[in-house]
């Protein structure tokens, strides 16, 4: 699963680099809106990956509504299994974005 996280973070890095190059052309509202779109999309992807491999069969998986939007999970998944796992992953992604932006400024 580590490679899947690395791929997402590499994509995020590339998109943030492109965003930082074009951000001087944006006003405050546009900057915040675009930044929010980027971070929301990557948070959703990280959350989906954190759920592990999801079966393609509709009998073994289902969609649930989260704050990130609909995601597909295994039918027998228990979010109580690792209450700190997702929090640590989200914190890692947030710290990565924050450090990335500090280096660009």
pLDDT for res 58: 75
Mean pLDDT by 10 residues, the chain (105 residues): 80 89 87 89 84 76 78 66 49 61 62
The residue extents of the domains of the chain are 2-104
pLDDT for res 102: 63
- The reported pTM is 0.58
pLDDT for res 55: 74
pLDDT for res 83: 45
pLDDT for res 68: 77
Count other C-beta atoms under 10 Å from residue 69's C-beta: 13
pLDDT for res 94: 61
């Amino acid at each position: 699963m580590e490679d899947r996280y690395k791929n997402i973070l590499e994509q995020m890095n590339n998109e943030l680099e492109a965003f930082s190059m074009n951000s001087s052309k944006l006003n405050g509202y546009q900057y915040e809106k675009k930044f929010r779109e980027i971070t929301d999309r990557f948070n959703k992807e990280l959350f989906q990956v954190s759920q592990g491999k999801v079966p393609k069969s509709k009998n073994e998986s289902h969609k649930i509504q989260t704050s990130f939007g609909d995601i597909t999970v295994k039918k027998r998944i228990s979010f109580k299994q690792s209450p700190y796992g997702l929090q640590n992953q989200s914190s890692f992604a947030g710290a990565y974005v924050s450090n990335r932006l500090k280096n660009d400024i």
